[in-house]
Amino acid sequence: MNNAQRCLSSFHLSKHLTGNQRLWNAREEGQREHLKRGDRIRRRVGKREMINEGESGAYRNGGVKEYVAANYVRVLAKLDVLDAKNEKETAEGDFEDENGSGSKMNIYGHVATIDLSDANNKSEFLDEKFIRCLHEPVLIQNAFEKSRQGSASSWTLRKLLEAHEEEEKRTGGLFQTTVRVRMEDGVSSGNNGRRNAKAFVYAEQSHEAIRNRKFQPPSLTQQMPFANGLSRVLEYSGDGAYIQSELPSNLKDEMEHDYSRVFTSFENSEEFVESQPLRLWLSKRGSVSPLHFDASISTLTQLKGEKTFLLFAPFSGLSQCYLYPDWHPLRRRSQLSIDDERIRNGLRAYEATLSEGDVLIFPPRWLHHVESSNKTNYSVSITRRYIYNASSGVNTDTSYALRFAKWAKTRDKGTKALSRLYSSGMVNPDFPSRFNLAVIDLDEDGKCPKLCETKTFERNVQEKWKVCVKALSDRIVARTKNISSICVRGSIARGAAVDFESDCDLIVVFENERPNEQELQDLRSELEDVRAQEFPFAKKVDVRFEKNRDELNAEQLFTLATSSLCVSGEDIPKSSSRMAPVRTSNLTLLEDVDSAIENGSEKAMSWACKRCLRAAFESQKRTRFTREISRCCEIVCEEDYPKKKYEVGDLETALVIAVKGPKMVFGDAYWLEMSTALLKRLSNCILSAKI
């Protein structure tokens, strides 16, 4: 018997695994002893070269080392220590690329997250309507039904091995596992031609250039028994691999029954057709799928370990990531790694980290870079993909949310996207002009002209609105004392009020102390009653009560000077000097956004979107001034989008939420989660871009 045969015989359970009864009486000690023995065998055989290693590297030509490694995996599984051994091998600390740079992609924002374990979440709304309106990635936590009872963790290596070997036995060896392995002389996947030892770059294996050996791909798929593939993934043989294979029938049946409502909604709808069935993805920690995009709707369920996605919107990403041309074997792949400066500086990443039981759904053509976390030694995921069946003709949904989703999926850049909102009727095209939402040019000193320099209350306010303001002003004077000045602001002051849409905005300044809050609240209620009975064309009455003029801050004085006219009392706007625009929204933006999210109401989210739009306008030095959110959005899109400060469509989405409300944009079910993600990434981006 030669050395190789002696090494192989050591795996025979009848001679080496059951011979020592003490191992069964002290299970843990026995497991440790067998692990050490297996490690010694694997190291001895690993020193020998593989026999008849053919070009394909398939199992039949895999040689002694791979055969031994596969049996080593089976031994560990039978001893029920395969998973425990790999958990002990988990590396500590974050993964760094092989160049040691430890560089990180600048994160634009996190993917919107919906947690189905939350009792307040209604998972029944996670239906085909939600999928149909989805225009950006969404992370659904605890979406895999069994994960809520802890069953996702049951997807162990032993379970996978036993299921695959059962299928191999049932089919007489016809069922094989698809394993992606790197080629020694393939195209590099790192910067400057340096090879990333953890990257697995997909190549179109049926491409003529690969079949004719004119192009050496960075990786190829090979068919082999699961145990052989697993031994390669765990690096017991070879230099690593990535299992990307069809599930065996028994696991497929389990997944079919245990998938969440997300996938049931796909299957129950004639609008979506499965383009790729359930597929297993098994990789070692740190394994990378470099930057690429898929042509279909992608879903990924994380069953073991963690995975981190960096996703990039197609509107700004596809033109800047240096894709291989469509005729190339690496089409749909980027020529650059994620750490290349052209990617880091040119693209904005949405981040999503999946834990066990989470599902990520993202639309077609979203670039993504995927990395298996270091927190566990391996990662197990299941993917499923769908395409939209445009010929089904079953969609009769004409909701605003669906119309908005169509705009979002095909939005243009900058002012073009905003123009399409108006031209498509998503926002009334007459909205800016009807309210005379003027943009004021600043003077040479950067100061804003006063409204009272060109307009007066008596001469310029529309007659019916003048009567309304006077009546409300008289009621205020009759009910309170020590009033210094009453001013009207907004569209009424500009002479551009619109029936049933304009508010009656009043500012009341007292000479010294103002009344207590209860008295002021009673007065507000009384004024609202007067409006409803006598002036129903006014949408509502909005009154701000301020202390004496000496205590007015810069923002209040600026508002009085630039957008208000005096109705009675001291003419504060006229006596004020010209002022430079006061930047206030930036100062409290994060606090405002956090407060709105904590409140969680539609009104709060719309208000926060308005704050974001004004803060975005204030973030840069301008030669113009406006407070109106639509004009703020127009100017920021015109001036800041070319500088790549914002993701295409985010500002326009904030405008629609501010005008229409979040439910109109995102639907009735998960508007809060989607709005929250938008506000967080937009506010962070605004503050990072401010002067």
pLDDT at 144 (0 to 100): 67
Residues 129 and 206 in one domain: yes
What would the two tokens of residue 554 be? 């810069």
Give the dihedral sign, CA 516/521/524/526: negative
pLDDT band at 39 (very low <50, low <70, confident <90, very high): low
Mean per-residue pLDDT, 138-158? 70
- From 511, 544, 575, give the residue that closes a domain: 575
39: in domain: yes
Residues in CB range of 220: below 8 A, 6 or more apart: 180, 181, 183, 203, 205
**Higher confidence at residue 597 or residue 99?**
597
Reading phi first (left if > 0) and then psi (alpha if -120 to 50, else beta), residue 332 is in left
pLDDT surpassing 90 at residue 670: no
Mean per-residue pLDDT, 339-349? 86
pLDDT at 102 (0 to 100): 41
92-96, 394-398, 450-454, 636-640, range with the lowest pLDDT: 92-96
Residues 671 and 606 in one domain: yes
Record the pTM: 0.80
**Nearest residue to 337 via CA among 288, 383, 404, 393:** 288
Residues 502 and 645 in one domain: no
**Nearest residue to 538 via CA among 507, 502, 495, 564:** 502
631: in domain: yes
653: in domain: yes
In CATH, what number is assigned to the domain containing residue 358? 2.60.120.10
| DSSP assignment of 640-680 | HGGGT-S-TTHHHHHHHHHHH-HHHHH-SSSHHHHHHHHHH
- From 366, 392, 418, give the residue that closes a domain: 392
Residues 154 and 298 in one domain: yes
pLDDT at 57 (0 to 100): 40
231: in domain: no
**Nearest residue to 79 via CA among 36, 46, 40, 44:** 36
Q: Which amino acid belongs to residue 540? A: K
pLDDT band at 247 (very low <50, low <70, confident <90, very high): very high
pLDDT band at 262 (very low <50, low <70, confident <90, very high): low
242: in domain: no
Mean per-residue pLDDT, 78-100? 59
Residues 425 and 571 in one domain: no
What would the two tokens of residue 150 be? 């802890």
Mean per-residue pLDDT, 475-490? 93
Residues 569 and 598 in one domain: no
Mean per-residue pLDDT, 273-294? 91
62 in Cβ contact with 228 (< 8 Å): yes
pLDDT surpassing 80 at residue 516: yes
315: in domain: yes
pLDDT digits over 207-221, tens only? 999 999 999 999 999
What is the domain count for the chain? 4
pLDDT surpassing 50 at residue 441: yes
pLDDT surpassing 70 at residue 658: yes
What would the two tokens of residue 664 be? 């109109």
Residues 265 and 333 in one domain: yes
Query: Please, what is the average pLDDT of the chain?
Result: 81
Residues 193 and 314 in one domain: yes
pLDDT surpassing 70 at residue 7: no
pLDDT surpassing 90 at residue 463: yes
28-32, 338-342, 621-625, 660-664, range with the lowest pLDDT: 28-32
Residues in CB range of 569: below 8 A, 6 or more apart: 483, 484, 485, 486, 509
pLDDT band at 137 (very low <50, low <70, confident <90, very high): very high
**Higher confidence at residue 438 or residue 394?**
438
Neighbours of 481 (CB within 10 A): 8
In CATH, what number is assigned to the domain containing residue 504? 3.30.460.10
pLDDT at 162 (0 to 100): 93
CA dihedral 668→674→676→677, nearest 10 degrees, is 180
Query: How many residues are recorded in the chain?
Result: 691
pLDDT surpassing 60 at residue 109: yes
What is residue 95's three-state secondary structure?
Answer: coil
What is residue 599's three-state secondary structure?
Answer: helix
Mean per-residue pLDDT, 494-501? 87
Residues 560 and 663 in one domain: no
Domain that holds residue 656: 400-432+584-689
Residues 289 and 355 in one domain: yes
Residues in CB range of 450: below 8 A, 6 or more apart: 561, 562, 573, 574, 576, 578
Residues 518 and 638 in one domain: no
**Higher confidence at residue 392 or residue 341?**
341
CA distances from residue 99 to 229, 333, 486, 531 in whole angstroms, order as listed = 28, 22, 67, 70
| DSSP assignment of 112-128 | EEEETTSTT--GGG-SH
Residues in CB range of 190: below 8 A, 6 or more apart: 97, 98, 99, 196, 199, 337, 339
The values of phi and psi at residue 323, to 5°, are -70, 150
pLDDT at 414 (0 to 100): 61
102: in domain: no
pLDDT at 191 (0 to 100): 46
pLDDT surpassing 90 at residue 583: no
**Higher confidence at residue 150 or residue 281?**
281
**Percent of the chain residues past pLDDT 70, beyond the cut:** 78
Mean per-residue pLDDT, 500-519? 90
Bridge-partner residues for 150, per DSSP? none
**Percent of the chain residues past pLDDT 90, beyond the cut:** 43
- From 54, 88, 122, give the residue that closes a domain: 88
The values of phi and psi at residue 376, to 5°, are -130, 160
637: in domain: yes
CA dihedral 221→227→230→235, nearest 10 degrees, is -100
524 in Cβ contact with 589 (< 8 Å): no
Residues 277 and 410 in one domain: no
CA 369 to chain centre: 13
pLDDT at 413 (0 to 100): 61
